[in-house]
Chain A
Amino acid sequence: MTSDVHPGQATRFVCRSYMAVVLAPKPPIIEWVAEIDQKIKGAGCFFIGPPVVLDLSAVKLSKSAIAHLLAELEQRGVRIMGLENVEAASTGDGLPPLVRSSKGASMSIDAVEAPVAAPVPDSTRKPATLLLDKPIRSGQSIFFPDGDVTVLGSVGSGAELIAGGSIHIYGALRGRAMAGSNGNTRARIFCSRIEAELLAIDGYYMTAESMDKGLRDRAVQAWLEGNELKITALD
């Protein structure tokens, strides 16, 4: 049994995605703020508490105007965690940082306009396993924060798999596999043939270059021991 310990993992890159509510002010701002007041009444405290991003694409505001708008929203309990679609020059000086969203991943606020309680995660439900019975093709990205991912086929070069739990691949892994993305240090990665570009568990990662060449094309598992990502052959 060979085991590969990769030194030099002092720096950790941890990426997490969060859901945020996006508010997009429209001119005239005064009417828009009044509309927000209406929505706050209607949607209960939907905007109050969760992080909110302000999308300023529809309005042209100076730095002081942005600060004024933020203060108005703050008064209503709406806390802005980031600004979107605004020139970098208009930020800074205590204003929230610029954020960029991935296109197409947005959810319309109209869907939650009715005063229905926001979906509360059911903590009694066991985390599910995502079973994928088709190969994961180059360019596809599978993100499953709730548990394990099992792939019956191969994961192509340029594809990525991100799981909150462990990752099991019964074909070849040629792309990237990131397990334990929610801070699960006990997550593992298993694959029946490793040609991976990158492996990561809870943010501790290893690139193809730093993997033991003797493990290539073999069945392996990877796990975390302290701050070290280890790989060992299964056969």
Chain B
Amino acid sequence: MAKVVVVTSGKGGVGKTTSTAALGAALAQIGQNVVIVDFDVGLRNLDLVMGAERRVVYDFINVTQGVAKLPQALIRDKRLDRLALLPASQTRDKDALTEEGVLGVITALRKMFDWVICDSPAGIERGATLAMRFADEAIIVTNPEVSSVRDSDRIIGLLDAKTVRAERGERVGKHLLITRYDQPRAARGEMLSIDDVLEILSTPLLGIVPESEEVLRASNLGSPVTLNNPGSGPARAYCDAARRLMGEDIEMTIPADRQGFLGKLFGRRAA
């Protein structure tokens, strides 16, 4: 049975799109069939992060409006054949999304994949509420700072109120993913600690992704960080998070960047 997961945060710039790409790739790397869906109509980014921007022909809105068939709009990843992307439309805005349209696409994707991962736009408006509307589970991406944490708190409230599951009296599984965690700054008390964030949000932790230049490097190359540099701290954090999503019990660590075996022999790879 396919799982629909929304990656959401409320606040922008905390790493929703990066996390969607990295987790989607990580799940595909361990043999799952995954589609990542960009809900950020009008401001799409997931295609860039996946390096698929030149392969977009049809998009989500075209499918909901019947202009294109779903398989025509899906873009298979060239590196991982189990990973597909449904891009958002860049020329439209969030009003082009309708609940019926989204339901139709999600229902069809459920039949084709093991995981349907929805990359939510920032905010709490139409785009974000429709991205979470049909979710079975939610990954709440949070940076360890107060504004991001409060926005996440708000989003968790909406997940418990505005999703189909919540309206049926069922639970939406919630997972907290702390990104851009800077160990030295946390040690100096310049950031909220993991314990503070967990105490405020009282939501189970899925993973802690360290702040790393590898994330930006991978984005600029159009490759999920789990594919671009599997040995990097963020990549290992995302792989662990993906395994926890699969139900595996993995000890919580904050992986630091390290160079792989080849990296040690030949020095850092050029990006």
B244 at the interface (CB under 8 A from A): no
A140 at the interface (CB under 8 A from B): yes
Q: Which of B137-193 contact A (CB under 8 A)?
A: 146, 150-151, 153-154, 156-158, 160-161
Contacts of A159 in B (CB 8 A): 153, 157
In the complex with contacts A135-B202, A153-B202, A158-B160 CB distance below 8 A: no
B200 at the interface (CB under 8 A from A): yes
Q: Which of B179-221 contact A (CB under 8 A)?
A: 199-200, 202
Number of B interface residues at 8 Å Cβ cutoff, please give it.
14
Contacts of A137 in B (CB 8 A): 153-154, 156-157, 160
Give the size range of A's interface with the partner: 10 to 19
B157 touches A139 (CB 8 A): yes
Q: How far is the CB of B25 from chain A (nearest CB, A)?
A: 31
A138 touches B202 (CB 8 A): no
Q: Which of A121-144 contact B (CB under 8 A)?
A: 134-140
A154 touches B160 (CB 8 A): no
B150 touches A154 (CB 8 A): no
Report B101-125 CB contacts with A as 1/0, cut-off 8 Å: 0000000000000000000000010
Q: What number of residue pairs across chains A and B have CB atoms under 8 A from each other?
A: 40
Report A160-188 CB contacts with B as 1/0, cut-off 8 Å: 00000000000110100000000000000
Contacts of B156 in A (CB 8 A): 137
In the complex with contacts A134-B160, A137-B160, A158-B153 CB distance below 8 A: yes
Q: How far is the CB of A133 from chain B (nearest CB, A)?
A: 12
A138 touches B160 (CB 8 A): no
A91 at the interface (CB under 8 A from B): no
B160 touches A156 (CB 8 A): no
A227 at the interface (CB under 8 A from B): no
A85 at the interface (CB under 8 A from B): no
A154 touches B157 (CB 8 A): no
B153 touches A157 (CB 8 A): yes
Contacts of A172 in B (CB 8 A): 199-200
Please give the residue numbers on chain A whose beta carbons come within 8 Å of chain B beta carbons, in ascending order. Answer: 134-140, 153-154, 156-159, 171-172, 174
Closest 8 CB pairs of A and B: A137-B157, A138-B153, A138-B154, A139-B154, A156-B153, A140-B157, A137-B153, A157-B150
Question: 12 additional contacts, CB 8 Å, given A137-B160, A140-B157, A156-B157?
Answer: A134-B160, A136-B157, A137-B153, A138-B154, A139-B124, A139-B153, A154-B200, A154-B202, A158-B150, A159-B153, A159-B157, A174-B200
A–B pairs, 29, beta carbons within 8 Å: A134-B160, A135-B202, A136-B157, A137-B153, A137-B154, A137-B156, A137-B157, A137-B160, A138-B150, A138-B151, A138-B154, A138-B157, A139-B153, A139-B154, A139-B157, A139-B158, A140-B157, A153-B202, A154-B200, A154-B202, A156-B157, A156-B200, A157-B153, A158-B150, A158-B154, A159-B157, A172-B199, A172-B200, A174-B200
